[in-house]
């Protein structure tokens, strides 16, 4: 069961419809651009928090995390790309820039 809001809700509903995520994960969005994901078969919990509350970055960050953890593959992410808008618009709705999601997850050993 997914309890989501906004664009991420649409993104995840489409993913379920396409069987992209299936029963591999469950997720919950919250206030202030907070998003949590549980990966059922991996025993992993993920929390995403955008510090400046800019929720438009949450969907591409979530997709990047799921790709890096091999929860979804590149073909599955492409099916969801129509829900991601990387453009930045001004008040006239003109494209004035773009968003770039650029980070790599690192594996850390816990002692």
pLDDT of residue 91: 95
- Closest alpha carbon to 103 in 62, 72, 70: 62
pTM for the model: 0.70
| pLDDT tens sequence for the chain (111 residues) | 333 445 555 555 545 444 556 677 777 777 777 888 888 888 888 888 888 777 778 888 888 888 898 888 888 888 777 777 888 999 999 999 998 888 898 877 666
Burial class (CB in 10 A: 0-12, 13-18, 19+), 98: exposed
């Amino acid at each position: 069961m997914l309890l989501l809001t906004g664009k991420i809700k649409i993104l995840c509903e489409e993913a379920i419809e396409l069987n992209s995520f299936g029963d591999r994960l469950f997720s919950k969005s919250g206030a202030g651009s907070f998003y949590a994901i549980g990966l059922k078969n991996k025993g992993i919990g993920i929390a995403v928090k955008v510090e400046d509350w800019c929720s438009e970055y949450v969907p591409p960050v979530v997709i990047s995390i799921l790709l890096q953890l091999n929860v979804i593959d590149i073909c599955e992410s492409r099916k969801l790309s129509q829900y991601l808008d990387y453009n930045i618009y001004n008040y006239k709705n003109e494209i004035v820039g773009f968003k770039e999601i650029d980070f790599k997850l690192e594996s850390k050993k816990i002692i």
